[in-house]
Amino acid sequence: MRILLAEDDCRLGKLIEHMLVKEKIQVDWVQQGNVAFEYATYAPYDVLVLDWMLPGETGINVCGRLRKNGYQGSILMLTARDALEDRILGLDTGADDYIVKPFEFAELMARIRALARRSGLQLKEEIVQVGDLVLNRSAHTAIRGRREIQLTVREFQLLDLLVQNNGCVLSRELLLDRSMEYQINWHIIRSQTNCPKNLLGIFYINITANGNSQKANGLLPVD
Domain spans of the chain, in order of start: 2-118, 127-216
Partner residues linked to 99 by β-bridges: 78
Fold of the CATH domain 127-216: Arc Repressor Mutant, subunit A (1.10.10)
What does the pLDDT average to over 80-104? Answer: 90
User: What is the structure's pLDDT at 63?
Assistant: 96
What does the pLDDT average to over 179-195? Answer: 39
Query: Phi, psi at residue 189, to the nearest 5°?
Result: -90, 125
Contact 133, 147 (CB under 8 A): no
Amino acid at 198: N
Of 183, 178, 179, 187, the closest CA to residue 214 belongs to 187
**Is the confidence at residue 64, as pLDDT, over 90?**
yes
pTM confidence score? 0.59
User: What is the structure's pLDDT at 207?
Assistant: 34
Prior bond of 102 cis (ω within 30°) = yes
pLDDT tens-digit map of 106-137: 999 999 988 888 765 444 567 788 778 888 87
**Is the confidence at residue 163, as pLDDT, over 80?**
no
Residues 17, 141: Cα–Cα separation, whole Å: 23
- Look over the chain and give the mean of its residue pLDDT values, rounded to a whole number: 76
Q: How far is CA 79 from CA 97, 128, 191, in A?
A: 11, 35, 39
**What residues have CB less than 8 Å from 139, skipping those under 6 apart?**
none
Fold of the CATH domain 2-118: Rossmann fold (3.40.50)
User: What is the structure's pLDDT at 173?
Assistant: 61
Higher pLDDT, 200 or 55: 55
Torsion sign, CA atoms 173, 175, 181, 186: negative
Helices marked H in the chain: 10-22, 33-42, 59-68, 84-93, 105-118, 153-164, 172-179, 197-200
